[in-house]
Amino acid sequence: MSSPKTTRSGSVSGSCGPDCTCRGPIPALDDLRSAMPKQDPKSVIYMDNNATTRVDEQVVAEMLPYLTEQYGNPSSMHTFGGQVAHKIAEARQRVADLLGCLPEEILFTSCGTESDNTAIKGTLAVLPNKRKIVTTRVEHPAVLTTCRDLERHGYSISEIGVDRQGNLNLDELGFRIDDNTAIVSVMYANNETGVIFPIDEIASIVHSRGVVFHTDAVQAAGKIPLNLRNSAIDMLSLSGHKLHAPKGIGVLYVRKGTRIAPFLHGGHQESGRRGGTENVPGIIALGKACELALKYRVEENTRVKSLRDRLEAKLLASCPDCMINGNPEHRLPNTLNISFEYIEGEAILLLLNQFGICASSGSACTSGALEPSHVLRAMGVPFTAAHGSIRFSLSRFNTEAEVDFVAEVMPKIVNRLRELSPFVKR
Amino acid sequence: MWDYTDKVMDHFLNPRNVGSVENPDGVGEVGSLACGDALTLSFKLGPDGRIADAKFKTFGCASAVASSSVLTELIKGKTLDEAMQVTNQDIASYLGGLPEQKMHCSVMGQEALEAAIANYRGKHDGAAAVKKGNIVCTCFGVTDEEIRKVVRENGLSTVEQVTNYCKAGGGCGGCHGRIAELIVEVQGEAVKTQIASPPKKPAKLTNIQKIQLVQQTINEQIRPALRADGGDIELIDIDGNKVIVAFRGMCAQCKVSGFTMKDVVQARLREYVSDDLTVEAEKNPESSEHKS
């Protein structure tokens, strides 16, 4: 990739910013691309880290021997298998260090969704007389769909709303908890907007009412500091592939003394709380990923945050009629959800894709549904803006050059689609 | 990720005939920002009465842009009567096919063409095309005439297909019953078994039977329709012939939940349980947006 300086001296006129006057015919994409720095077609600019992340090479190195050489079953009596158990104990300690809890409070699962299901259904199973779940309208489907399915089985669900900036209504939360409530589940940070909820405060409110509190921290873990030792959180879900471990490994933190029934019945693994042979390489990979997350946590909140802020500032300056979705003050350091009015998200993503840029959208068209993201709708983002929403989510592997490239390409894509749009009057 | 054909990607990346024709003979506008896609088509006739130039502007996804682009290519050089013969199937097959959920993009192209030609023939002004028929889907503003047309021309037999082709039923889901009726009306009784086979309504019910039947009807007939659109319903109480329910999820915020209550919930319960039933929304302090 050549330096940004070369690009600015290129032939395309105007920045297509607020004062842009270029109104010529639609530039063919090749013209658009030739104006861009030459990019290695194999290199991808990955800004979709809230969807999944690249596995860190150190993580791969750590797990590899447990696929090829040390493939034993940790439950076995022989040393060959048994020695793996020590490595699992080490991984458990590393996860506990990231979360600030005890290793015996860590339960390994197959993914974030299994952790969420275990927390909710496992709690309901030990509290047969309580039939209500309180959650939010902006939860990930792992929680929301689970709750709505439970509703079909006779449970009642209360979903707390959010305001225009995506902040939870805490008064409403307190109001909805009653004697019949078995569990409250509120996500730590929203996957689409990155808005962080005041989880410690919420946990205290819930605890003071004597109700179990679970949080889906799949997006928060590794990105912002967590310290469960000083918090009233009873259960917390985490997913490996969101923090540079492979897919297929998750964690449910269960505070000591919290009663929970197993979700998967089977052998005695995980102290009898989750049957099924351990995903040994996955667990070891996650341990290493958590160790690295702890190491890079400062960087995540400084360098990655400044990259995100740089991208945000550049886009706001160069693209008219765009706006940030979600409370800018309480947001994950890596997430930028931005709406471009009058144009549609899927079209933006496909053009970004032409430049090897990976992002995602809350537009209806990307999912096959006809209505845009449930999170943006719950926030009351107008449909006109929700259809054109794009989420960029960064990681420690992103560079300033990548951010500058995206900031260079984006206004041209926006301008091109607006040339096509009947809602832009010129 | 959508599996678009090369043809779709070509017309998306290099759309033909973008813009507005100067001094157009006909203009058709369909869709809206809120719906997620919209198309403005304008054309000019040559001295021979054939379409000499056609241009479009589209807000929407790749398949919407590609469908619009193909539409302009298809109609150029045709007389208006010939152009009227272009169907959404022609657009879709020119593109080598569209994903099923994106078929409504090809229908939008055809509707814009009809609106533009109607505009030329002076039936109404294209800017605010008056829709024929009665609105069935209030969320997306789709009329019974439009639904009949897509069902007939594309041989559709399920509500889900109708939603894919013209968006009707893709919002709150309150019109699913009416769409099913329209499908039967167009396609005949043959498709009826594919939609729903209503159980026989019992003549006399004990209280327990009534409660069980109401619950069963909600679970099997009403909830799936609402849940398909992110909504849900909860049975709160049954007091004599008064059934008290509460909407959940998307339905709780749906602007037309009043219609859903009467046209879906009450209609279904009367159909399957008893004609004497009335349905009311729960009067509760928990309804959304109640206070700060």
Q: Which residues of chain A have pLDDT under 70?
A: 1-42, 364-370, 425-426
Residues with Cβ within 8 Å of A19's Cβ and at least 6 positions away in sequence, in order, are: none
Q: Which residues of A touch B292 (CB under 8 A)?
A: 169, 171
Closest-CA residue to B279 (of B242, B225, B247): B242
User: Crossing angle of helices A280-299/A79-99, nearest 10°?
Assistant: 30
Contact A239, A35 (CB under 8 A): no
- SS3 (DSSP) at A210: coil
| Residue A365: active-site member | yes
Sign of CA dihedral A295, A301, A307, A308: positive
Catalytic residue selected from A16, A20, A358, A365:
A365
Q: Structure tokens of B255?
A: 């602007």
Cβ atoms A218, A117 nearer than 8 A: no
Q: Is A368 in contact with B171 (Cβ distance < 8 A)?
A: no
Helix (H) or strand (E) holding B263: none
Token pair belonging to A48: 């979709």
Which residue in this structure is represented by tokens 């690249």? A54
* A28 in contact with chain B, both atoms CB, cutoff 8 A: yes
User: Following DSSP, what letter does each residue of A48-86 receive, concatenated?
Assistant: BTTT--PPPHHHHHHHTHHHHT----TT-SSHHHHHHHH
Residue A135: both structure tokens together: 């959650």
| Cross-chain residue pair B59–A363, CB shorter than 8 Å | no
Contact B65 A148 (CB under 8 A): no
DSSP class per residue in A353-405: HHTTEE-EE--HHHHT-SS--HHHHHHT--HHHHTTEEEEE--TT--HHHHHH
> Which of B 134-173 lie inside 8 A of A, CB atoms?
140, 163, 167, 170-171
Q: Inspect the interface and report whether the beta carbons of A383 and B36 lie closer than 8 Å.
A: yes
pLDDT digit string (tens) for chain B, length 292 residues: 678 999 999 999 999 999 999 999 999 998 877 777 899 999 999 999 899 999 999 999 899 999 999 999 999 999 999 999 999 899 999 999 998 888 888 889 989 999 999 888 875 444 444 567 788 887 787 888 888 888 888 888 888 888 888 888 887 778 888 888 888 888 876 665 555 544 556 667 788 888 888 888 888 778 877 776 767 788 888 888 888 888 877 767 676 777 778 778 888 888 888 888 888 888 754 444 443 3
Give chain A's domains with CATH numbers.
4-54+297-420 (3.90.1150.10), 57-293 (3.40.640.10)
- Partners of B279 in the β-ladder: B243
Place of tokens 């102290």: A271
Whether B7 contacts B96, CB under 8 Å: yes
Q: Would you say the ipTM is above 0.85?
A: no
Query: C-alpha angle A379/A382/A388, rounded to 5°?
Result: 105
Given this model, what pLDDT does residue A41 score?
A: 52
Q: What is the pLDDT of residue B200?
A: 57
SS3 (DSSP) at B238: strand
pLDDT of residue A119: 97
pLDDT tens profile B245-284: 888 777 676 767 777 787 788 888 888 888 888 888 887 5
To the nearest 10 degrees (0 to 180), the angle between helices B144-154 and B103-120 is 120
Q: Which residues of chain A have a CB within 8 Å of the CB of B140?
A: 370
The alpha carbon of residue B247 and the mean position of all alpha carbons in its chain are separated, in whole angstroms, by 22
Contact B167 A354 (CB under 8 A): no
Helix/strand/coil for A191: coil
Hey, is the C-beta of A131 within 8 angstroms of any chain B C-beta?
no
The whole-number pLDDT of residue A14 equals: 34
Size of interface A-B (CB pairs under 8 A): 110
Domains in chain B with CATH codes: 6-128 (3.90.1010.10), 135-195 (1.10.10.1100), 207-281 (3.30.300.130)
Helix (H/G/I), strand (E/B), else coil: A214: strand
- Structure tokens that stand for A138 in this block: 């902006």
Residue A15 in contact with partner chain B when CB distance is under 8 A: no
Kindly report the nearest CA distance between residue B178 and chain A, in angstroms.
19
Could you tell me the sign of the dihedral formed by the alpha carbons of A375, A381, A385, A389, in that order? Answer: negative
Going by C-alpha positions, the residue among B120, B232, B172, B68 that lies closest to residue A421 is: B68
CB A291 within 8 A of CB A240: no
